Amino acid sequence: MQVAVDKEILAREKLINRFHEVRRYTETLCRPLQTDDYQIQSIVQTSPPKWHIAHVTWFF
């Protein structure tokens, strides 16, 4: 039973680490953007970066 618990803990830690990697990469991509780039969706086919950052975080 302990082996199953250890595997679950390792899987959780791996997922947490992956989340942090993705988040750092997202922040790197957004670094050159200006405040105006985060405004509301201007056309149906696009979404502002802030929307994507929030929703990716929610899915994790």
**If residue 51 lies in a helix (H) or strand (E), which one and from where to where?**
helix 49-59
- By CB neighbour count within 10 A (0-12 exposed, 13-18 middle, 19+ buried), where does 23 fall? middle
pLDDT digits (tens, 9 = 90+) for 45-56: 666 666 666 665
- Count of domains for the chain: 1
User: 30 and 53 in contact (C-beta within 8 Å)?
Assistant: yes
| pLDDT for the residue 42 | 63
Query: What pLDDT sits at residue 29?
Result: 86
Which positions of the chain have pLDDT values less than 70? 40-60
Alpha-carbon distances of 12 from 7, 15, 25, 47, 57, rounded to whole Å: 9, 5, 20, 30, 16
pTM: 0.58
What residues make up the domain containing 39? 2-59
